[in-house]
Amino acid sequence: MSLEVKLPEPNKSTPLSQLLLKRRSIRRYGRGSLKLEELSQILWATYGLVDKNRRVVPSAGATYPIEVYVFVKNVENLKPGIYKYNEDKNTLILMREGDFSGDLASACLNQEWVYRAPVNIVLVAVYERTTSWYGERGFRYIYMEAGHVGQNIYLASTELNLGTVAVGAFHDEDVKRIIGLGDEYIVLYVFPIGRI
Query: Is 167:112 a contact under the CB 8 Å cutoff?
Result: no
Q: Is residue 22 part of a domain?
A: no
Residue 1, pLDDT score: 78
Residue 76, pLDDT score: 97
Distance (Å, whole) CA 130 – CA 139: 8
pTM: 0.96
Q: Is residue 20 part of a domain?
A: no
Reading the chain (196 residues) residue by residue, the pLDDT tens digits are 799 999 999 999 999 999 999 999 999 999 899 999 999 999 999 999 999 889 999 999 999 999 999 999 999 999 999 999 999 999 999 999 999 999 999 999 999 999 999 999 999 999 999 999 999 999 999 999 999 999 999 999 999 999 999 999 999 999 999 999 999 999 999 999 999 9
Q: Is residue 190 part of a domain?
A: yes
Beta bridge partners of 93: 84
Q: Is residue 173 part of a domain?
A: yes
Q: Is residue 17 part of a domain?
A: no
The per-residue pLDDT for range 75-102, each reduced to its tens digit, is 999 999 999 999 999 999 999 999 999 9
Q: Is residue 109 part of a domain?
A: yes
Beta-sheet strands, E only, within 14-168? 49-51, 54-55, 66-72, 81-86, 91-97, 119-126, 162-164
What single letter denotes the amino acid at residue 49?
A: L
Exposed e or buried b per residue across 3-19, where buried means at least 16 C-beta atoms within 10 angstroms of its C-beta:
eeeeeeeeeeeeeeeee
The residue count for the chain = 196
Query: Is 126:65 a contact under the CB 8 Å cutoff?
Result: yes
Domain count, the chain: 1
Distance (Å, whole) CA 129 – CA 106: 30
Residue 52, pLDDT score: 86
Neighbours of 25 (CB within 10 A): 11
The domain containing residue 81 runs over which residues?
Answer: 29-195
Domain CATH number, residue 183? 3.40.109.10
Q: Is residue 5 part of a domain?
A: no
Residue 158, pLDDT score: 98
Q: Is residue 23 part of a domain?
A: no
**Dihedral Cα 67, 97, 171, 38, nearest 10 deg:** 50
